[in-house]
Amino acid sequence: MGRADGSQRQVSASDVDDSESAILHVDMDAFFASVELLERPDARGKPAIVGHAGGRGVVTSATYEARRYGVRSAMPMSQALRLCPNAIILPPHYERYTEYSAKVMEIFREVTPLVEPLSIDEAFLDVSGARRLLGSPRRIAELIRSRVWEETGLTCSVGVAATKFMAKLASGRAKPDGLLVIPRAETLTFLRPLPVGALWGVGASTQASLERMGLLTVGDLADAPLHVLQKAVGDAGGRKLHDLANGRDARRIVTESREKSIGHENTFGTDVGDLDTLRREFLRLSGRVGERLRTHAMIARTVSIKVRFSDFRTITRSRTLAEPTNVGRRLFEEAWDVFGALNLDVRQTPLRLIGVRAEQLLDAGGDAVALWDPDEEWRETERTLDAVSARFGRGMIGPASLVRRARDADEEERDGRNPRYVSD
């Protein structure tokens, strides 16, 4: 199987025992960058960075060639270019990522209905029921990799194991463009030499705390008394780490998911201290949130805002609405009112970033919808705008203060946990 210390890419031999390993984790390789390279074949094999150059742009994605220089997602573009000055800059095209994600997820669902998307570019699959028609889990993984390549021109890495945690760990070790099977019987052999940071939920601070206790490897955690771990990271955290370190993960594939929130935020190229500019941006962001709520047939009970100053000090505030809504204008009015309640002197302390987020989401048309709709006129107007945008593109029609700058603002926008793609 190869080394289990994470120092090199690992792939499985063809005769590996996969009889008890029916969980797959499929992870697209450098997804955003790979999609961009489909339109830029001249950049293949070269260090390339997806993002906007200049100002306060950040790295959205990077090819593996750029990653060898230390370039990572969410890194300031200025820092990335210092590390890799010869990198090719590729502007992001989020609509393409959505398109290719849908194609990939459809391939997964044609293999098995038990698919749990984790994000736009990765998913868990349970292929227990697909064995009779398609063969062993390894064979199914090979089929998926082949189909993804043939139908999209993209590569993916697949981990095959008996549990979700081990499958995800395996796909990471197989990158890029690899397949790694961890037989159930070899789970502990694979796990024990790994550093404690390899475990799900162990961040830098937790890892430092564990290492101060002399717990350096997963094997150390597995052998430690449960009460010692609970004292270090709490009762629930200690039990979770103890279970994972001993190869225990009882979670099943969850095929239905509800988005917890939908939000948009924007980091300005230069700090903004003008209220009119901020008001227009709150209106634009609220409109985008409302549009996505309607696309997903959802309404929100709560609207929240985020503001960030030049020193990265950040304030968030939220308000529960009298009636849940998916109308951008209503979200804007509430968000702007919440912002006003902060009583900020933005001329003295201009803002680096603002954001609007809809929370406590419900299905639209459910019992939570009021008999009387106070936003009926705005709702019909925005539905008309949705139809126009779908046909002619966003920014062709809308509030007069926004139409001229809509396209430029889209390029500046930065979403919360995953650009434009919901799910916190």
Q: For this structure, is 122 an active site residue? A: yes
Q: Can you tell me whether residue 213 is helix, strand or coil?
A: coil
- The one catalytic residue among 36, 65, 116, 122: 122
Distance between CA 27 and CA 25 in Å, rounded? 6
* 121 marked as binding residue: yes
27 labeled part of a ligand binding site = yes
Q: What is the dihedral of CA 191, 193, 194, 196, to 10 degrees?
A: 100
> To which residue do tokens 């052999």 refer?
189
Q: How many CA atoms lie within 13 A of 49 on its CB side?
A: 31
Alpha helices of 213-325 — where are they, by DSSP H? 218-223, 226-233, 235-245, 275-295
Alpha-carbon span 271 to 274, nearest angstrom: 9
- Distance (Å) of CA 189 to CA 183, 264, 351, 415: 10, 44, 51, 40
* Other beta carbons within 10 Å of 19: 14
Cβ neighbors of 318 (< 8 A, separation 6 or more) are: 302, 303, 304, 305, 338, 359
Residue set of the binding site for Mg(2+): 27, 121
Residue set of the binding site: 27, 121
Which residues form the catalytic set? Answer: 122
